[in-house]
Amino acid sequence: MLKLLVIGGFFHLKEQISFESAEPQIGEGGGGCTQVIEQVEQYRSQGFTAFGIVDRDILLSKSANEENAEKADQYETLFWQTDDNQFLATQIFGEHIHVLKRWELESYLLKPEALQARIKSKKLSQNVMSVDEVTQALIDNEDNFITVTILSTYAANMLGKNSSDKFEVQNHGEVLETKVKNQLGINGSNDFYIHYDKIKLFAEQEDNISIRWDKLSRLLDAKRVLYRFEKNNMFNGIFKDMESERGDLADFIKNKPLIDTELIDFIDHILESA
pLDDT for the residue 13: 42
Task: State how far the Cα of 29 lies from the Cα of 250, in Å rounded to an integer.
Answer: 31
Q: What does the CA dihedral 117, 262, 108, 99 come to, rounded to 10 degrees?
A: 170
Residue 14 — very low, low, confident or very high, per pLDDT cuts 50/70/90? very low
Task: With a cut of 90, say whether residue 195 has pLDDT above it.
Answer: yes
Tens-digit pLDDT profile for residues 112-162: 999 999 888 877 556 788 999 999 999 999 999 999 999 999 987 675 556
Range of lowest pLDDT (84-98, 117-131, 166-180, 242-256)? 117-131
What is the pLDDT confidence band of residue 74, given thresholds at 50, 70 and 90?
very high
Share of the chain above pLDDT 70, in %: 85
**Is 50 in contact with 145 (CB distance < 8 Å)?**
no
The per-residue pLDDT of the chain, averaged, comes to: 84
Report yes or no: 53 and 37 within 8 Å, Cβ to Cβ: no
Q: What is the pLDDT of residues 198-222, one digit of tens each?
A: 999 999 999 999 999 999 999 999 9
Partners of 17 in beta bridges = 2
Q: Give whole-number Cα distances, 41 to 8, 58, 63, 163, in Å.
A: 19, 18, 22, 32
Q: Residue 28 — very low, low, confident or very high, per pLDDT cuts 50/70/90?
A: very low
Q: Compute the average pLDDT of residues 102-113.
A: 94
The pLDDT value given to residue 43: 87
Residue 19 has pLDDT above 60, yes or no: no
Q: Residue 29: which pLDDT band, with cuts at 50, 70 and 90? A: very low
Segment 54-68, tens digit of pLDDT: 999 989 988 988 899
pLDDT at 11 over 60: no
* Nearest by Cα to 197 from 61, 82, 43, 30: 82
Per-residue pLDDT band for 27 (boundaries 50, 70, 90) equals very low
What's the pLDDT score for residue 232?
Answer: 72
Question: For position 274, what pLDDT does the model report?
Answer: 65
Alpha-carbon distance of 230 to 245, in angstroms, equals 10
Mean pLDDT for 222-240 is 83
